[in-house]
Chain A
Amino acid sequence: MAEFSESPKDRPSEISELPDESQNSVSDFDPCTMRKTKPGLKRLFLTLTVLFSFFLGSPFLLKSIEIYRSPLPFRDIDSLSDSVGSSPLLFPCHFQAIFVGFDNFDAYDLGISIKHEMKKLTKHPVCGTCSDSNYTLSVTVDSGSGCARNYNAESTFMWRCGAIGEFDLGGGGDDDGVDEFLGSVLGSCEGFRKVYSVVVVNRGGEVRAVVGKYRHAWIVGGVLEEGMNAVVARVAETFVKVFVNGGKEEGSIHGEFMPVGADGRIVLSFNLLNADPTDWIYGWDFQRIDEILLAPVIKALGPVANISVESQVLYHTPKSSFSYWDEKWDSYIFSTKDLPFFVNSNEWHLDTSIAAGGRSKILQFVVYIPSAKECPLLLQLPNGEISVTNAFISPMWGGVAVWNPPGCLRDSESKHPARHTISPQDLQEVFEIFMGQLRQLFGLKSDSLYVGASGTTNLLASERGFTEWELDVLSRQHTCFNLVSCATTLGSLSRLVQSLPRMIIMDEIGKQVKFSLEAAKLTRSNASLGIYDASAVSSRQARSLAEDAFFHPSIMSVSYYSFEHCFAVYSPFFLPVSMHVLLAAFREWRRYKQETAKYLAWKEKAKVAAS
C-alpha cells in the first residue's frame, strides 16, 4: 500500500525534472550525475526498520528456544574446589604422654621436646592427618606420690596419679590384660574427645612397645638406658606414624585403591567354589559366620562404608591355570607368577549383585576347594617358600583363599560323593585370612608388627578386625578422600555444564549439587571439631550426591539437542530471509548515498550558476 501512496508524490517531482531540463536547456545538467530534488528517505527507513526489528527480535527468538537449565551454584563449587585443593583437610588431634618413673624430668621440657620431634616427622602434612597447628599435647610425669603436668594439660584428659602402681604393667607378657587395664583407666576420663595416649614406664629389662586395641600404647622397660632423646623420639613416632598415619608409609588413599563405591556402599560377596563336585562337595555354615564374625566388623566400619554381605556356593569351577607336583612339599604347587591366571572368569560366575546399586563396590572373597587331581594345592611365594595363609588378594577385586580338604581323601569310588561341611575351626581360619585381606584392601597392614625408625612396635589385633585407632585413621582418610573426590566431581560437572550451553539441566541435578555442597560443608565443620565418624558419614554423602548429579541420566540428552540440530532447524528460514533484508538495506543505503551525491552536485552547480 505504501508504494501506491507515495508514488504520486514522487513522480511529479521526478517528472518535473524533464521540463526544467528542456526549459533551461542548460547544457551542463547531466541527469546521470545530478538531480534537482532531495532523495527520499522512505524506502531507506523502511528497510532499516525491518533490519532493526530483526535485530531486536532475535533475543526474543533465542529466549523462546532456550533450554531449561537449573541454576547451579558455580561459585560455591569453585570455592569448594579451591579450598580443598589449596589446603589439605586436617583434623585436630589430642595426644597425651604419661611418664611413670621419670622423677627427675620436667613435664614442660618433655612436652617441648616431643612437640619438636613430632614437627620433624610431619613436615608435609598429608590430607586426613593432624596438623601441627591444631593438636594438643599434654605430658604428665607420674612419680607415684604426685604428678607434674605441662602447662596445657587440660582437665578433660587427666591421668589419675599413681594408677599405674596398682597394676603390674607388662609383667607376664599379658598384653591383652594390660590393654584392658589401660583402657579402663584412660577410657574413663576420655569423654567426648578422642585422646591418643602413650604410657612410658621406666623399669629395668628389655624395652617393649605395644599398641593396644583402643587409643593407647605403652612402652615398658629400661628405656632410660638408651637415653631420653630416644624415648622422646619413640613417643613422637608412635603418635605420628601409628596413631595418625595408621602405621603405613603412604598417607592418603589413591583413587584406584578406594575400596568403597561411589555411593558409599560395599558388597562383600563370599563365594565357596567346589572345583569339581564329583570328587567332594563342601558346604559351609555361612549363617553363623555372618552373625558371629562379620556382623561386628560391619558395625565397626559403619561410618566408613555401608556394607552388606551375601554368599553363594558354586560348583564345577576349575581354576584356569595348572599347578605342578612337587615332591619336596608333597603337594601341588602354584607359583606366584601364574597368579593372574588363577581366577577363571569364564567358569567362576561370581556375578554382580542385584541387591547392589550401580555404583556400589563389590569385593569378592573366594574360598577355592581344589579337585582331587590337584589336592593339596599350595601357593608358592616368589622366594620359593610356601604361603602361610595360602591366599592372595587382588587389589580392588577381592581375595582368594585356597582351602584343602583334610587329607585330600576321596570318598571311596562311589558315584555319589557325600556332602561335607567345612568344620567351624577351619572356617574360622579362612575368615581370619579374609579379615586380613579386607584390612589390606582398606590399606591397613595385615601383620601385627610396626617397624619404625626407633624400634619395633607390636600391634594388638581386635576381635572386630579393626582397632579403634585404626578406625579413626580410616575415618579421617576416607573423609579426606571423599571430600577431594566430591570437589573434583562437582568441579568437572561445573566445567562440563559451562562448556555445553545447550545442555538441559534438570532441577534434580541442581538439588543434588546443593545437597552435596551442604554435606561437604558439614563435613568440614565436623572435621574441624574433630568428630571423625560424623565427618566420614557426611563426606560419604557428599561424594555420593556429587556422583549422582554427575551421572544423572538426563545429562545424556545433550547429544540429542545440540547446536547443530538447532542450526539445521532454523537456518532454512533465517538464512534466505536475512539475506533479503541485509541486501535490501545495503542497496537502499548505497542508493541513498548516490542520490545525495547527485543532489549535492546539482546544488553546487546551481549555486555556481546563480552566482
Chain B
Amino acid sequence: MAAVLRFLIAVLLFSSIATASLSQEEEEFSEELLLKPLADRKVLAHFHFESKAPPTRTYGHHHRLFPKALYQLVQKFRIREMELSFTQGRWNYERWGGFDPISSSNAKPPGVELWAVFDVPHDLVDASWKNLTHTLSGLFCASINFLESSTAYSAPDWGFQPFSGSLRYGSLPREAVCTENLTPWLKLLPCRDKAGLATLMDRPSIYRGFYHSQRLRLSSTEFGSTEVESGIALDQTLTVVLQPTTSHRASMTYSSDSVLQPSWSLSSIFGRKVSGRCVLANSSNVYVQVERGLMSELKILHAEDEGSGADNLTFEKTWNNPGFELSIAPNRVIKEVNILHDETSIVLYEYLIDNYSNSEPFDLGFTWKFPVVWSSPQAPLHASRFLMGSGNERGAIAISLKATEPSDGLWFADTIENSCMLRFNVFQVVPWYVRVYFHTLQVFVDGKPQSVTDFIERMRISPSEDKVSPGVMEMALKLPCCVKSVTLTLEFDKGFLHIDEYPPDANQGFDIPSAVISFPDFHASMHFLKDDSLNKSPLLSKFQERSPVLCYTEVLLVPLTTPDFSMPYNVITITCTVFALYFGSLLNVLRRRVGEEERFLKSKGNFTFPGVS
C-alpha cells in the first residue's frame, strides 16, 4: 500500500514538474473573438488577445512575442497589476446585460480609466504612478499625463480592489478616444492588424459603433511578492457594440407585431473577412455566444414547432434551429454547465480559424428566421447617478439603485429565509472643486428617509483637500432583499478655481468620474465541463474566473461659475486708474493757489466783486 502511495506521489510530482517546466518556459500568444447577438438588435464583438511571458529569473529579459515596451514598463515601474481602458460611449446595462463576465470586466466608464498596483515601498508609490502616467501617455498617444496631478488620482483602500496601500486609481472622463489610441495598442500584438482576427478592425466600422472600449491589463509576478511565479500576462481586449445594417428582409413583420432582428455577417458588420489566423498565435478561435434568455425562447419556439419537447438534448447542439441559422457549421458546440438552470444554459459555437486561408476566408453569417424577444441577465441592482439642485452655488449628488426583476432567480438561490441580505460597495471619487459634505449623506429606502447607520456596514471617507487631493468615498452597504430601491444623496458646494486651473473650454462644465458599484457576493462566471481543450482557450478560462459583478454609473457634468478670463487685466487696469486719479488729484490740490485764482478771476471781471476792498 505504502509503495503504491509512494509511486503515486512520485508520478504526481514528476508530472507536475514536467507540466510546469513545459508550460512555463514558453511565451504564448492567443487571439479570440466572441460574437454575441444583443437583445436590442445590436451585435457585441469582443476581441481578446493574450500574451504571456515566463518569469525573468528563469527566462531572461529577451522576448520573442511579448512586447518590449510593456516588458520594460513592468520592469521599470515594478508593476504588479495594471489596467488601462479607453472607452467611448456607455455600456447599456439594462439591455446588454449586467451579470456576465463581459459586462463586469469589460464595461468601462467613458474616457480613460487607469489603475495600477505597484510592488514598491508605500512611500514610493506616488512617484511611480506619476512616472507611469507620463510613460503611458507617450505610449498610447493620450493625455494620461493629466492623471499625474495629485488632485486627479486617489488611493482606494478596499472599495475598488482589495490591494491596500499600493493601488492608485484615476480616470479622465472627457478623454476622446480614437484611432491614434488604437494604433499603439495594436502595435503590441505580434501580428498587429496585418494578419489574424485583428484584420477585422476596420477603423470606420469600429468607431461607428455604439460602444467601444479598448482595454489593456497587465499582471506580473516578477517581484517576488506572490508565491507562484508565472511571469507577466498581458490581456488586450477590444469590446465593440455594433448595429448591423438592416436589410430589406428585416422589415417583414410577423403576426406578433415584432420585427425580425437584422441578420448579420462578419463582412457586413466589419466590412472585412478573416483570411487566416495570425501564425504566431497558439490558438485562434471565434465564438458565437447565445444567451440564456434567447436559448429558452428558442426552446419554446422549438417545442411549438415540433409539438413535443422530446429532443431537447439534440436541439441545443444544432446550429440551425427555428430562430436563427449560422452560415458555417461550428467546429464544436460548448454548453455551459449550470446547476441552477438545468433547463437552459448558455451555448457557445466555436470556430477554429486554422482551417481558413486567403483563398477561403472566414465570413460567418448569422441569419434570423423568426422574431425573438428576450432579455439579458441583470445585476441585482441597477445604478444611476444624477445631480440635484440648481444654480452655481450648491447642489447634491444622488446615486439611485433600483432592484432589477429577479427574473432568473439567480441571486435568491441561497437565501430562502427572510434573513436574505444584499451587500454592495460604492466607490466614488469627487474632484476637490465639488466640495462634498459627507455629514449630509442620506439614505432613502423605498422612497423613505432612513437612518444611515442601519444600512451602512462600513465606510471610509477621505475628504478632499483644496488643490491637493480629491474626496474619496468607499461604502459597504447591506440591504434586505425585499427592498425595491435605495437612493443615496450627498450635498455639495461648488468651489472656485484659480484662473489657471480652468480647462480651455471652461464653459462646458466639469466631469465627476463614474462611481463604481460592486457586488462582492455575486460572481459573474460561467462553468464549462472539465475538458482539456477548454483550458487552452484563454477567453473561456477568463469566463470561468470568479470575478465580482461590477458596474459603473454615468459621468456627471457639473457647471461651475466661469470667470471672464480677461478679468485680471481689467481689475489691474481699473484699480490702477482709480489710484492714479486719486494720486493726481491729491497732487493738484497740494499745489493749488486759491488766492491767486480768486485774484485772476477778479481781474478778469473787476466789477463783479464790488465788496472786496
List the interface of chain A (C-beta within 8 A of B): 2-3, 7, 10-11, 14-15, 31, 43, 46-47, 50, 277-278, 281, 283, 286-287, 290, 310-316, 349, 351, 353-355, 415-417, 568-569, 572-573, 575-577, 579-581, 584, 587-588
Contact = CB atoms under 8 A, between A and B. Distances in A.
Interface stretch (B187-195, B227-235, B557-565): B187-195
Which of the listed residues A278, A310, A353 has the most CB atoms from chain B within 10 Å of its own CB? A278
Given A277-B280, A310-B62, 12 more contacts: A11-B595, A43-B593, A46-B591, A278-B276, A281-B279, A310-B72, A311-B68, A316-B191, A576-B577, A580-B584, A584-B591, A588-B591
A568 B569 contact: yes
A15 B603 CA distance: 13
B78 to A, nearest CB: 13
Given A354-B135, A415-B276, A572-B572, A2 B595 contact: no
Nearest to B196: A316
Interface string B7-25: 0000000000000000000
Contact of A3 (B65, B572, B589): B589
B569 A290 contact: no
A312 B72 CA distance: 12
Interface string B57-70: 00011111101110
B187 A287 contact: no
A55 B589 CA distance: 22
Contacts of A587: 591
B573 interface: yes
Given A315-B280, A415-B354, A15 B595 contact: yes
A310 B591 contact: no
16 contacts: A3-B594, A7-B594, A10-B595, A277-B191, A351-B69, A354-B69, A354-B72, A354-B76, A415-B276, A415-B354, A416-B354, A576-B580, A577-B580, A580-B587, A581-B587, A584-B591
B588 interface: yes
B576 interface: yes
A195 B580 CA distance: 80
Contacts of B192: 316, 349
Nearest to B579: A573
A313 B64 contact: yes
B584 A577 contact: yes
B592 interface: yes
B583 A47 contact: no
A192 to B, nearest CB: 38
Contact of B68 (A283, A351, A581): A351
A335 B484 CA distance: 77
A16 to B, nearest CB: 12
Interface of B: 60-65, 67-69, 72-73, 75-76, 135, 139, 187, 190-192, 194-195, 276, 279-280, 354, 357, 569, 572-573, 575-577, 579-581, 583-584, 587-596, 599, 603
A287 B577 contact: no
Main secondary structure of the interface of A (DSSP, over half): helix
A310 B68 contact: yes
Contacts of A353: 68, 72
Given A7-B595, A351-B69, A580-B587, A315 B569 contact: no
Contacts of B75: 355
A313 B279 contact: no
A569 B73 CA distance: 46
Contacts of A351: 68-69
Which of the listed residues B64, B72, B135 has the most CB atoms from chain A within 10 Å of its own CB? B64
A477 B75 CA distance: 35
A572 B576 contact: yes
A316 B195 contact: yes
A348 B100 CA distance: 39
Which of the listed residues A10, A311, A415 has the most CB atoms from chain B within 10 Å of its own CB? A415
A277 B590 contact: no
A290 B61 CA distance: 10
Contacts of A354: 69, 72-73, 76, 135, 139
A536 to B, nearest CB: 28
A315 B62 contact: no
B195 A278 contact: yes
B584 A355 contact: no
Contacts of A287: 60, 62
Contacts of B68: 310-312, 351, 353
Nearest to A43: B591
B588 A584 contact: yes
Contacts of A7: 594-595
A315 B72 contact: no
A315 B194 CA distance: 9
A349 B188 CA distance: 10
A315 B67 CA distance: 12
Given A278-B195, A312-B68, A2 B583 contact: no
